[in-house]
Amino acid sequence: MKLGFIGCGNMASAIIGGILKNNLVQPDDILASVKSEASAKRVRETLGVSCSTDNLEVAKSADYVFLAVKPQFCAQVATEIKESLTPNQVLVSVIAGKNLSWLKEHLGEDKKIIRTMPNTPALVEEGITGVCPDALVSQEELQQVLALLRCCGRADVVTEPILDLVGAVSGSSPAFVFMFIEALADGAVAEGMPRKQAYEFAAQAVLGSAKMVLETQKHPGELKDMVCSPGGTTIEGVNTLEKEGMRSAVMDAVRACIAKTKKL
C-alpha cells in the first residue's frame, strides 16, 4: 500500500508520524509533496519519508492520496492533479469547508473520496477525526483509512452535515481549551503560583477531566456536580463563570466557527 500526501503541514505530519510509529506502512511507502524545497527538506529530515515539490508524482504513485493543502489552494491543486488520478485510488481530503460535491466536481465524479476533519491533538496521538466517505468507497477502503487515522487518536464515521460541526466542536476547540488553560494558570499566577507549575497543574486538570467524561460516560453536568460541594469553593467559582456568561460565549464561538466553515 502506497500513501501520498499533497501538503505536509502539522496535520499531515501528525498523521504520517502516527502511521510510522504504529508500523502500518514503511517510510519507503510514503511520498509527500510541498510548496518549497526548504519545506521538503524539513519533511525528509523530520519524518524520514520521500518529499518533493511535485504534486503530480504523488498523485500518480499513491493508492491513497491525502489532500492536506489549505482551502485557498485546493482548486489550484485539484486542477493540477485531476488528469493524473484514477478511479482505483482513494482520495482522502483533510481540507476544511470543501464538501463532497465540490471535491467531486473538481476531481472527477468517478473518484472515490473520503472527507475527514482531524484536529491538532493528533500531534500527540490524542486526536479525534470525523470521517465521511462517498458512495463509491468500499467498506474495506473505509476501514483502511480509519485504521490509518486511528494511529493519531480516535476516528469515527459521521454524516456530511455533521462533519462541518465536527470542525468546530473538535477541530477549532483546542484553541479554546488552550485559552482556558492559560486563563486558569494566569489566575493562579496572580495569587503567587510559579507560571510553569501553574500551566502543568491546569493542563493536567483539563486532561483528567476530559478522560473522566470519556471513560465514565457520565453527563458532564453530573461530573461537575460531583466537584461542587455545598457551600464550597468550587460552586463559588462556577457562580462567577455563570455570571460572566461562559456557557453562552463558548456556544457562540462554536457557532461562529461553523458559520465561517460554511463560507470557505
Question: For residue 139, what pLDDT is reported?
Answer: 97
Question: For residue 104, what pLDDT is reported?
Answer: 96
Question: For residue 2, what pLDDT is reported?
Answer: 97
**Domains along the chain with CATH numbers:** 3-157 (3.40.50.720), 166-261 (1.10.3730.10)
Distance between CA atoms of 245 and 223, rounded to whole angstroms?
Answer: 20
Q: Which residue has the cell 462541518?
A: 164
Question: For residue 145, what pLDDT is reported?
Answer: 98
Mean pLDDT, consecutive 10-residue stretches, the chain (264 aa), reads: 96 95 95 96 96 96 96 94 96 93 96 96 94 98 98 95 90 95 98 98 97 97 97 96 97 93 82
Burial (CB count <10 Å: 0-12, 13-18, 19+), residue 42: middle
CA distances from 226 to 213, 218, 219, 223, 230 (A): 12, 11, 11, 5, 10
Question: For residue 96, what pLDDT is reported?
Answer: 86
Question: For residue 167, what pLDDT is reported?
Answer: 85
Distance between CA atoms of 211 and 205, rounded to whole angstroms?
Answer: 10
Question: For residue 97, what pLDDT is reported?
Answer: 84
Picking from 14, 48, 52, the residue whose alpha carbon sits closest to that of residue 35 is: 52
Pairing outcome for strands 90-93 and 112-117: parallel
